[in-house]
Structure 1
């Protein structure tokens, strides 16, 4: 089979080789030079380079044609959601239209669709009209309609302050306003096949994703199966018409235990989600998604550990540039029975200035597990509270 991969994720995260026999199939990876550079040098696949600065989707379309013989297009990235639908249409291949893909990509569109269902969504306004009040009061979230890692998300104490910030934006049409919902944030990760959930696991965040952008650590830990969580995820998937692929659904659980939709992506979760899911269920989400997309046999599952798994990442994008910093934890937490793996940056390596969850790019990342999810959650919260930033010379 001739396959076009829109390569926008690190190769080590995607795990294409788990699902694809590169010697049996004709695989082309399309990407910008920095992304193609992370492909194994000996990978038997064609590279289709899109020059730096050129629009990725337009670049792929300009360099491909229906007569090229591609039978499928694969994308695992949030940034490829619309690209893959446009490229498929260009090549004459079946798949969701851009309008259908927007239901799991545009944060306004997904709430508009769900507003007609029994699923509770936060009140929201795509663009406030001049001279009118928002239909709620108090804390208000200003967030991009698209994107990942909570980049660009801000929380304002009043609706007036949020509206003023909205009007000051250079491109306000790319943002929305949303009421603040009090409660924990959970995420469900699963595969969808023919509209049905498979291998669904729900986790509870440690801290909130929006706080990661301002320098707080972020993590999550898996929870025991709860039929309420499963039914909520199932109903969201049905209402949005998601029929295949991975999903990463985020939702609130309020102090009164009400479940409230936050957002969903029709792709795998970031940070440590894929590895935690693999160890808990034996299912590697991206490779199983690739196999489902291509109609290939699914990879043999790994053996589940029988434990609940979690992760925690400590951001580095907010640290002063040009200075050596490291993130430290007390020794007893690093030696704790829950601690499975600890990732740190090599000495002298500065974290990138942009927001990232990748464990090899942040100052400190943890993978943890325990047979008791309560013990695991308490451990990760203790780590998040105990983290300290030190100048490199102070910890040398």
Structure 2
């Protein structure tokens, strides 16, 4: 019997695992949220806030499920790096952190695009949101350049506009900033 662990953040009525995984033939464990909506009765469910999990310090019951699984599935964009870290830790087949990072980390993605000769505006990593505030203000208040600041690995919701003097006059934001972002690093782009 194949053991499958699914990191779940979405309502299972939206992502229908029961239609693609035979829960009679496989030992399926769900870890995450919305688990009271899981329909197969023969699946194991471990409620957990995925954003709070650390691949190197998993709760014992979750660690045991992951250490003994054959496959680890993560469909949510925010869970790809966690899944890759768990796969590497327990030698589970699937995408590694190196393979997932260019998808999730915007700075890594831009560097890969630049290396493949896709033109990129000037960009760089700001050390953290509080220390980068003066530079963000300089970009924002510059009348000669446009710029944007964005979180390195956050998803695209909960964003606020970044304005320069020129963009404010035209009514068009130059970029977006996710104010609720937990990550401490961000990328800055000067146009």
Q: Secondary structure at the match of 1:146?
A: coil
Cα distance in 1, alignment partners of residues 181 and 11 from structure 2: 31
Structure 2 partner of 1:11: 12
CA spacing shift, 1:89–1:12, aligned 2, 3 Å: same
Structure 2 partner of 1:323: none
Indicate whether 1:178 and 2:176 are aligned.
no
The answer to whether the 8 Å contact 1:141/1:153 transfers is: no
Cα distance in 2, alignment partners of residues 170 and 44 from structure 1: 37
The answer to whether the 8 Å contact 2:154/2:181 transfers is: no
CA spacing shift, 1:114–1:25, aligned 2, 3 Å: same
TM-score by length of 2: 0.70
The answer to whether the 8 Å contact 1:75/1:81 transfers is: yes
Structure 2 partner of 1:109: 108
For 1:101-180, list aligned pairs within 5 A: 101-127=100-126, 137-158=144-165, 173-179=184-190
CA spacing shift, 1:37–1:93, aligned 2, 3 Å: same
TM-score by length of 1: 0.36
Structure 1 residue 57: deviation in Å? 3.8
Indicate whether 1:28 and 2:26 are aligned.
no
Q: Secondary structure at the match of 1:64?
A: helix
Structure 2 partner of 1:96: 95
Cα distance in 2, alignment partners of residues 171 and 57 from structure 1: 14
Structure 2 partner of 1:46: 44
Cα distance in 2, alignment partners of residues 97 and 18 from structure 1: 26
Structure 1 residue 122: deviation in Å? 3.5
Structure 2 partner of 1:205: none
* RMSD (CA atoms): 3.6
Indicate whether 1:72 and 2:75 are aligned.
no
Structure 1 partner of 2:53: 56
CA spacing shift, 1:122–1:10, aligned 2, 3 Å: farther
Structure 1 residue 171: deviation in Å? 7.9
Structure 1 residue 38: deviation in Å? 2.8
The answer to whether the 8 Å contact 1:142/1:175 transfers is: yes
Q: Secondary structure at the match of 1:73?
A: strand
Structure 2 partner of 1:279: none
Cα distance in 1, alignment partners of residues 21 and 181 from structure 2: 43
Cα distance in 1, alignment partners of residues 50 and 73 from structure 2: 22
Contiguous gaps of at least 5 residues in structure 1: 181-396
Cα distance in 2, alignment partners of residues 121 and 79 from structure 1: 25
Q: Secondary structure at the match of 2:187?
A: strand
Structure 2 partner of 1:379: none
Structure 1 residue 79: deviation in Å? 1.4
Aligned residues: 168
For 1:312-323, list aligned pairs within 5 A: none
Cα distance in 1, alignment partners of residues 63 and 182 from structure 2: 32
